[in-house]
Amino acid sequence: MENRMNLKQFAVWTAALVLGAVLGSLGLAKLDGFFNFVASAYTRLFKFIAVPTIALAVATTLASLGAKRSTGRLFLHTIAYTLLTTLAAALVGLGLYVLIAPGNLPADVIAGNTAAALGAAPEPETFYEHVLNVIPDNMVHPFLAGNVLSILLVATAAGFGMAAMKDSPEKAALLKGVFGLQELLFTMIKGLVWTLPLGIVAFSAQLAAQVKAGLDVGSLGKYLAVVLSGNLLQFFVVLPLFLILRRIDPLRVLRAMSPAVLMALFTKSSAATLPVTVNSAETRLGAKPEVARFVCPICCTINMNGCAAFILVTSLFVLQNGGVALTLPTMLLWVLIACISAIGNAGVPMGCYFLTLSLMAGQGMPIGILGVILPVYAVIDMIETAENVWSDSCVCAMVDKDLRAA
């Protein structure tokens, strides 16, 4: 019965995807405006749900598991798989970059697009400023700003604090209220997931309209081939191999997590997709609630496979155009930098773009290249976000199996 329902749901999503593509390609301004409104509304709603999802999922999991030995094992397994998959993504990108060997862009093209890149860029911040921005100075600001790392910090402290409290009527009442809020949140998430086909139509139509308007990827050539093929290899080969090595069926996991992967593809935000990711992991994949509600929010913040590959390949491309000799030690150093940067990247649209831009600006490189990349980044962002969420799904499946076997 469950498999039949999953197939029916998949058929509905596929039909919504095709319908949106057809409607978006018609070129009707009023219809495009309507779909832009619906897509924006869905993105806002999922971002609205994502912030309390992160806080409550981490806090309640740590509160309930804090006194158990499984807490440390859950955290360590999550971090281990995150580091392994992120490193694998970066190494795949490096291998393809060496193999395909993109050439340099004309100097006038780079110069002409410097304004485009800088116009979208935030002010670069130092390492110390980045750390200070993560440490909240009040309880409200992280949630208002949507600062995922700060929210995780607050939620972790609250979770450990509740776990350390002595048993008392006050603690029982507090936990009951927090868990009640979480159940209310997941009920709201189920309602949003039920209406998701409408969102898929809007997102698909929006993309089709952008392509029809002249989204041109031909000018980037080999660079784009490296980025996209690296993401596809990680998605269809490397991550399934991780699952197979743990004796987990990749197709079963992909079928179960397809709502989250599809949502990530169109929202271009793993943070906005988080409610669907947690819901799919828990209700469709069958992961333990304490695993799904802990691993998915953590991975949403630190498990950025697609971002690691993009940062590495783009940085190497910019460095090469800036006259830096790409020796093996230099490339391996940037593998490390890309992995660390990806782990700290926010799961929001264009997060990797801004982060790479800041890295290259700090190195004094020709950041006009980021302006050249900007017109095709929408496609790159879609694919790498889907890969990020697919990687989160794989980590959740592996951690769940590890804890069940223990």
Measured distance CA(268)–CA(271) in Å, rounded: 9
- Predicted model pTM: 0.68
* Whole-number pLDDT of residue 332: 92
pLDDT given for residue 209 in this prediction: 77
Q: Which two tokens stand for residue 227?
A: 């980025």
Note the residue count of the chain: 406
Q: What tokens appear for 49 in the block?
A: 């749900």
- The domain locations on the chain are 2-405
Q: Residue 296 is inside which H or E element, if any?
A: helix 289-302
* Cα 31 to chain centroid, rounded: 29
Q: How confident is the model at residue 165 (pLDDT cuts 50, 70, 90)?
A: confident
**Closest to 115 in 3D by CA, of 379, 352, 366:** 366
Taking only the tens place, the pLDDT of each residue in 284-321 is 999 998 899 889 988 887 788 998 999 999 999 988 88
Give the per-residue pLDDT at 128: 67
Contact present, 366 and 349 (Cβ < 8 Å): no
Under DSSP, the state recorded for 376 is G
In this structure, the number of other CB atoms found within 10 A of the CB of residue 82 comes to: 25
| pLDDT value for 218 | 41
**DSSP collapsed to 3 states, 15-39:** HHHHHHHHHHCCCCHHHHHHHHHHH
Residue 107 has pLDDT above 70, yes or no: no
| Per-residue pLDDT tens over the stretch 178-209 | 888 878 887 887 787 788 788 878 877 876 77
Q: Whose CA is closest to 372, among 312, 304, 318, 322?
A: 318
> What pLDDT score does 71 carry?
65
Q: Could you tell me which residue, 402 or 21, shows the higher pLDDT?
A: 402
Q: How far apart are CA 69 and CA 73, in angstroms?
A: 7
Topology of the domain covering 2-405: Proton glutamate symport protein (1.10.3860)
Across 97-101, 116-120, 221-225, 257-261, least confident range: 116-120
Average pLDDT over all residues of the chain: 79
pLDDT of 205-240, one tens digit each? 876 776 665 544 444 578 888 999 999 999 999 999
- 4 pLDDT tier (thresholds 50, 70, 90): low
Q: Residue 342: name the closest of 404, 377, 299 by CA.
A: 299
Q: 271 with 53: CB under 8 angstroms?
A: no
The dihedral region occupied by 214, where left means phi > 0, alpha psi between -120 and 50, and beta the remainder, is left
What tokens were used for 288? 């333990």
Q: For 368-379, how does the pLDDT look when each residue is reduced to its tens digit (9 = 90+)?
A: 677 667 656 777
- What integer pLDDT is reported at residue 189 of this predicted model? 72
Query: CA–CA separation, 42 vs 267, rounded Å?
Result: 9
Q: What local confidence, expressed as pLDDT, does residue 137 receive?
A: 83
Helix, strand or coil, per DSSP, at residue 384: helix
Max mean pLDDT among 35-39, 101-105, 353-357, 378-382 falls in 35-39
What is the C-alpha separation between 184 and 181, in angstroms, rounded?
5
Q: What's the pLDDT at 365?
A: 78
pLDDT given at position 163 = 80
* pLDDT bracket for residue 151 (50, 70, 90): confident
Q: Is the predicted pLDDT of residue 395 greater than 90, yes or no?
A: yes
